[in-house]
Amino acid sequence: MPGDAMLSVAWHSSDSVQAHMARNNDTVLGMAINGDPGALHALTCAHADLPVATVHAPLLGSPDGIGAQLFETWHGVAPLRSGVHRGVSYRHNNDLLFGSVSIAEHDLAAGALAHLDATTGAASGAANVASTRLAAASFAAYSALFDTLATLGFDYLLRVWNYVPDIVDHVDGSERYWQFNSGRQAAFSAAGRTVTGDVPAACALGLIGGSVTVFFIATRIVPIAIENPRQVSAFNYPRQYGPKSPTFARAVCIEFAKTPYLFISGTASIVGHQTMHVGNVVLQTRETLNNLRAVIDAANQRYSLDDGSPRFALAGLNFRVYIRRSLDFDAVRAELVAAFDTEVPLPPIVYLRSDVCRPDLLVEIEAAGGYPMEVSG
């Protein structure tokens, strides 16, 4: 990886990742495998102490040479220490921790629901949301996460990726995303953490079947939460979006050695708190890009280069694009390509088939940057 940056990222194909890992294993904090995880077994056998999260979402498009699998490795400064705590696999150095936890709803003990009800106070009117296996799985995953961070002394949750089976289905009287939010917020509260304001960047996407999977980056350095002036903060959504609001910031910035890194949460075609352009994927993609630009502008109000120019720009980030319907891929990709100056290479972009957390949202985009990045097919 380039230089001695506090944090850097590499995107690799299945052909190049093994050699990359052999060269850089002492700096790899963790890995996310996007697409078909067919090579997972060989990698985990060779690197058994590495936190690995699998995202079972088909790739619709990726940088040249990547193919049907994208292996994303997160790197930090050595030496690194690895372990497992309450089912959370982690690796960390003095400043950063990468972790992963996966919980199958059907594996939860019967007492998990009762424990969640006791924690949330099911009589509050959210009982039909709290008393579900998904809410209990969400609560269990985040409770284990927070206990791991407390045990290891990492106070700040920086960025979280949540993957939830069948996220927009209605089961047990409510939408599954609402149930996930109920369990997540209950875990934040039980751990003594705020559920508004200084919360992590995050996304929550739907997969077909599988387990509730959460992977994350935590730190001992205070991050700065960034909100979007075009949108109501997600943690302040009105009750029409569920009895418990989503617990995430629109973005966070963190500064290492006077260099800020930006992590933008999953972003969609929402203005205020309402979905815009229902049924029109082109207009939803454009609105999403407008929201990304607004978040970048908000981040630049806090951070600038030495000459006063903006620190962050849309073309300087990398992107993960989630598309609900495979048939919309070409239209979404055309909008992304049009958003950038044709005289410079496109930034790294990967497209995945995945459900977005509202049934009327057709596309969601997350972005990050400021750190060194390598792409190798």
Q: Which residues are catalytic?
A: 364
In angstroms, the CA 144 to CA 364 distance is 28
Q: Is 312 helix (H, G, I), strand (E, B) or coil?
A: coil
For residue 372, whether the previous peptide bond is cis, meaning omega lies within 30 degrees of 0, is: no
In angstroms, the CA 121 to CA 45 distance is 43
β-bridge pairing 349-353 and 317-323:
parallel
CA-to-CA separations, 248 to 4, 29, 49, 139, 188, in angstroms, rounded: 30, 23, 29, 15, 11
Q: Which of 72, 76, 84, 101 is nearest to 14 (CA)?
A: 72
Q: Locate 118 and state its tokens.
A: 């006791």
Q: Can you spell out the DSSP letters for 255-321?
A: EETTEEEEEEEEE-SEEBTEE-STT-HHHHHHHHHHHHHHHHHHHHTT-B-TTS-BS--GGGEEEEE
Q: Locate 200 and state its tokens.
A: 């992590």
Q: Which amino acid is at 259?
A: T
Could you give phi then psi for residue 58, rounded to 5 degrees?
-60, 140
Q: Which of 268, 296, 254 is nearest to 364 (CA)?
A: 268
Residue in this structure with the two tokens 């890995």, named with its chain if needed? 31
Residue in this structure with the two tokens 């997540």, named with its chain if needed? 184
Contact criterion met (CB below 8 Å) for 167 and 204:
yes
Contact criterion met (CB below 8 Å) for 310 and 300:
yes
Beta bridge partners of 205: 163
Q: Locate 108 and state its tokens.
A: 């939860």
Contact criterion met (CB below 8 Å) for 130 and 122:
yes
CA-to-CA separations, 373 to 11, 250, 317, 322, 368, in angstroms, rounded: 8, 22, 10, 21, 10
Q: Which amino acid is at 27?
A: T
